[in-house]
Amino acid sequence: MPKYDYLVIDVGSTFTKQRLFKDGRLVATVQSPTTVKNVYEGIDLGRKKMIEQLGVEKIQVDEILASSSAAGGLRMVAMGYMIRVTAKAAKEVAMNSGSKILEIISNENLPDYRVQILKEINPDIILLAGGTDFGDETSIIENAHLIVESGVSSFVVVAGNVKAQATVAGILREGEISHIRVPNIMPTIHELRVKESRDAIHREFIRQITKAKGLRMLQEELTTDKVIPTPGAVLLGAEILAKGVYSHEGIGDCVIIDLGGATTDVHSVIPHLENLENEEIGLIVNNEKQVSFRTVEGNLGMRVSAKGILETVNPMEIFKKNDLKDMDLLDRFMNYVDRIDENPELVASDEEEYMFDTLLAKTAVEVALKRHAGYISQNVDPVRGIVPGMPVGRDLRYVKTIIGVGGIFAHRSAESGEEIIKSALVNPGVSLLPKEAKVIIDQNYLLFTSGVIAQLNENYGFEVLKNEFKI
């Protein structure tokens, strides 16, 4: 009986995916519905399909690893001193930690408002920031008192001014609020330090997600008990691919477009930014010069958020951009999106509906890419030192590789997927989009597996993508 290297399982909100590897190559792949009442039932169903595919009695494997997005991520509220600074830091912390930002509040908001927001959301996680090290202490201490006053049952990650953290911890302890202290996420105005905050939230993600029935059984099978958030696994895979590993050179700057049913995630990895000095980086709050960057468009998706696409871009504008003029066809398009809204599991059943999905995908990808990318300034901003013609934000113009990930790319030809992505680059306007990029389609959805495997073996994780993408 053959023995395999890695079995990687991803428990998603709708489907559970399993991928089996031997010698750095994909051997078998299955997908089964996620069984909400007991997620292990869906895993077991997929395993039986895989056994049947392979014609074996049992799958013997050295390592079993997992990722999950079934819970949708921990609900997080970020609190800080200045809203722009807190927003910037919180976005970085949430990038692959398993959390999603629901609200950002700061001392620019009235205290009563901050308490009200906490009570209404009652988040799983509160990221408590505020003040550079040995700078302002008042904001983080005030916010600690407000957290206690709100009566929430949240887990608090104290990630602000180190000089104030002992006082803050004392306030939370007295208020019986679970918390952990980590290094300041913004120790200076030039530096973001988010790893420790991400790790703390990730540990809480694992603790909470394993409450789901059946996940504890999966955890007992795993080589490690670490269940990685799926978006984080995708980003880790992108980083491995871009930066390379000890035995392989990476492909350099790349953009990942992950088009899902509920969201469109865009990741970009630009390795050479790692070498910038503080003076070149400038003020953290004004730029996107970190190596890895992720944006999530929660209202742009192929199914759950299909209506959000039409709310973002007028359907008539979508038709005009694609040289379509038939008003009856437009009515049928809008009716199709209404049907998707009522039944997110709807699958295109004919050529016309296939075309409608293509229109939705093109629109979601273009909007998400332009929101992720920076732009050429058209105005003067003396406070930020910006003049017309200056590049602002994430500069993707010299990115050479774009990778498409998601169901729509996996279930149609690579050529069709490439066309969806390339159409988003045709009219960049002032956006700093890639000028000349090769498009790769992840048809077997392996990028996340590389990120999961890389936790144990970076070389193997890279080998998987090298073999799949033929790079």
pLDDT in tens, 336-378: 999 999 998 898 999 999 999 999 999 999 999 999 999 988 8
3-70+208-248+448-469 homologous superfamily: ATPase, nucleotide binding domain (3.30.420.40)
Range(s) of the chain covered by CATH 3.40.50.360: 74-206
Q: Which two tokens stand for residue 173?
A: 């302890």
- Asked if residues 182 and 158 have their Cβ atoms less than 8 Å apart, the reply is yes
Instruction: Compute the distance between CA of residue 266 and CA of residue 392 in angstroms, rounded to an integer.
Output: 18
Would you place residue 225 in the very low, low, confident or very high pLDDT band (cuts 50, 70, 90)? confident
- CB-based contacts of 314, cutoff 8 Å, min separation 6: none
Question: How confident is the model over 422-438, as pLDDT tens digits?
Answer: 999 999 999 999 999 99
* 294-321 core/surface letters (b: 16 or more CB in 10 A; e: else): bbbbebbbbbbbbbbbbebbebeebbeb
Backbone angles phi, psi at 318, to 5 degrees: -60, -45
Residue 308 pLDDT: 94
Q: In the predicted model, is pLDDT for residue 300 greater than 70?
A: yes
Instruction: Compute the distance between CA of residue 438 and CA of residue 21 in angstroms, rounded to an integer.
Output: 26
Range(s) of the chain covered by CATH 3.30.420.40: 3-70+208-248+448-469
Question: How confident is the model over 26-80, as pLDDT tens digits?
Answer: 999 999 888 877 888 889 999 999 999 999 999 999 999 999 876 566 889 999 9
Q: In the predicted model, is pLDDT for residue 399 greater than 70?
A: yes
- Asked if residues 393 and 430 have their Cβ atoms less than 8 Å apart, the reply is no
Would you place residue 219 in the very low, low, confident or very high pLDDT band (cuts 50, 70, 90)? confident
Residue 465 pLDDT: 96
Q: Please give the average per-residue pLDDT across 313-322, as a whole number.
A: 96
> What is the pTM for the complete model shown?
0.85
Judging by beta carbons within 10 Å of its beta carbon (0-12, 13-18, 19+), is residue 176 exposed, middle or buried?
Answer: exposed
Residue 249 pLDDT: 93
Topology (CATH) of 74-206? Rossmann fold (3.40.50)
Instruction: Compute the distance between CA of residue 158 and CA of residue 243 in angstroms, rounded to an integer.
Output: 31
Instruction: Compute the distance between CA of residue 88 and CA of residue 108 in angstroms, rounded to an integer.
Output: 15
Question: How confident is the model over 237-296, as pLDDT tens digits?
Answer: 999 999 999 888 999 999 999 998 888 999 999 998 887 666 555 555 555 778 888 888
Left if phi > 0, otherwise alpha if psi is -120 to 50, otherwise beta: which for 200?
A: alpha
Across 99-113, 139-153, 447-461, least confident range? 99-113
Instruction: Compute the distance between CA of residue 28 and CA of residue 451 in angstroms, rounded to an integer.
Output: 18
- 200-209, 220-229, 329-338: which has the highest mean pLDDT? 329-338
Across 113-127, 200-214, 419-433, least confident range? 200-214
Would you place residue 212 in the very low, low, confident or very high pLDDT band (cuts 50, 70, 90)? low
